[in-house]
Amino acid sequence: MRLPLGYPELLATLLTLLGLIPESLTSWEEWWTYDGISGPGFWGLINPQWGLCSKGRRQSPVDIQPDKLLYDPRLRPLHVDKHKISGSLFNTGQSLVLRVDQDSKHHVNISGGPLDYRYQLVEGYIHYGTHDGHGSEHRVNGYSFPAEIQLYGFNAELYHNMSEAQHKSQGIVAISLMLQIGDRPNPELRVITSSFGQVGFRGQSAPIRHLSVRALLPDTDHYMTYEGSTTHPGCWETTVWILLNKPIYITKQELYALRKLMQGSPETPKAPLGNNARPLQSLNHRTVRTNIDFFREKDKNCPTMYKDHYYQATWGEENRLQGRNFADTSR
């Protein structure tokens, strides 16, 4: 978005005088949205602390293009602790956010994969659309899934908390789980979806107890990874993204309950909470690496990306198991 010189400052001053945006920085977290004058195109224009949202060169989300993936044999398996977590599910008015209880005796640590340090899980965001054709922030070869769960953690070896880590090098990790519609949902996802009825409006929350993040993950060791940013303000470019190469499943009934959530209060519901995806960002010559070896010989007892290796998911009403082949991008 190209705006005249001085326009962002003039717009911010005008909107503040009109009482449309807050004067204190403590209110910024409540003000931004996914559309209109407070939407993604304006995040970095009005709040100076969010300048990366408009000027950054390593922004997220991105479209994962199979023909441009780089196989990296140095990438290790990803490790997520088996400890169960507790916390709260919040309707913030912009997203549905899972905030992990940090006072717990046992934290869920994330390590391995492309990571050089140990990261501590802090929160998760649910992005989804109001219909099946879109919802996820990241895309695979242009395809948008109905929803995406993003799990964020901070570098616990170098920094004290997320607030400090988000400004620092290698400060944040984000694990992306794509959600596809299926008749056999992920059992652990039910711990979250069963609370949707308690968070129908902005400011409402529900307790989450005994959630196994490891069990929530799909059954795959394959992933893609790149250097990016948080997809919400202030778009901090300190995020290592790990996108798992298989979706988890959610039922139509659970997705329907998710789409009933609203942005506003019971008195002023406003619009549905869905369609809370930031637009795709340019890769700007960044490399997306993967631990999937596209060219390994088929007769070896190793994962391959030949014609029999797919991004496996259930598609359509007939619940047929089909696949999207990363190695063949002609379709």
User: For residue 218, which of 63, 75, 78, 317 has the smallest C-alpha distance?
Assistant: 78
Question: At residue 51, does pLDDT exceed 90?
Answer: yes
Q: Determine contact, residues 58/51, Cβ cutoff 8 Å.
A: no
Question: At residue 144, does pLDDT exceed 60?
Answer: yes
CATH of the domain at 91: 3.10.200.10
In a domain, 310, yes or no: no
In a domain, 176, yes or no: yes
The model carries a pTM of: 0.85
Question: What pLDDT band is residue 53 in, cutting at 50, 70 and 90?
Answer: very high
Question: At residue 328, does pLDDT exceed 70?
Answer: no
Beta carbons within 8 Å of 230's beta carbon, 6+ residues apart: 60, 152, 166, 172, 174, 236, 239
Lowest mean pLDDT among 214-218, 277-281, 291-295: 291-295
Please give the pLDDT value at position 29: 64
Beta strands in the chain (DSSP E): 63-64, 70-71, 78-80, 84-91, 96-100, 109-112, 119-128, 139-140, 147-155, 172-181, 205-212, 223-228, 239-244, 248-250, 289-290, 311-315, 320-324
In a domain, 295, yes or no: no
Please give the pLDDT value at position 104: 79
Helix-then-strand count for the chain, H and E:
8, 17
In a domain, 97, yes or no: yes
Distance from the Cα of residue 64 to its chain's centroid: 14
Please give the pLDDT value at position 184: 85
Please give the pLDDT value at position 105: 81
| Tens digit of each residue's pLDDT (9 = 90 or more) over 218-244 | 999 999 999 999 999 999 999 999 999
Question: At residue 268, does pLDDT exceed 60?
Answer: yes
In a domain, 31, yes or no: no
In a domain, 202, yes or no: yes
| Tens digit of each residue's pLDDT (9 = 90 or more) over 161-185 | 999 999 999 999 999 999 999 988 8
Please give the pLDDT value at position 11: 52
| Tens digit of each residue's pLDDT (9 = 90 or more) over 105-132 | 889 999 999 999 999 999 999 999 999 9
Catalytic residue among 119, 125, 152, 159: 159
Domain hosting 171: range is: 42-290
Q: Determine contact, residues 200/262, Cβ cutoff 8 Å.
A: yes
Q: Which amino acid is at 264?
A: G
Q: Respond yes or no: is residue 159 known to be catalytic.
A: yes
Please give the pLDDT value at position 331: 35
Number of domains in the chain: 1
Question: At residue 307, does pLDDT exceed 80?
Answer: no
| Tens digit of each residue's pLDDT (9 = 90 or more) over 7-43 | 444 555 444 444 444 444 445 566 799 998 899 999 9
Please give the pLDDT value at position 31: 79
> How far is residue 218 from each of residues 177, 221, 233, measured CA to CA in Å?
8, 9, 28
In a domain, 69, yes or no: yes
In a domain, 298, yes or no: no
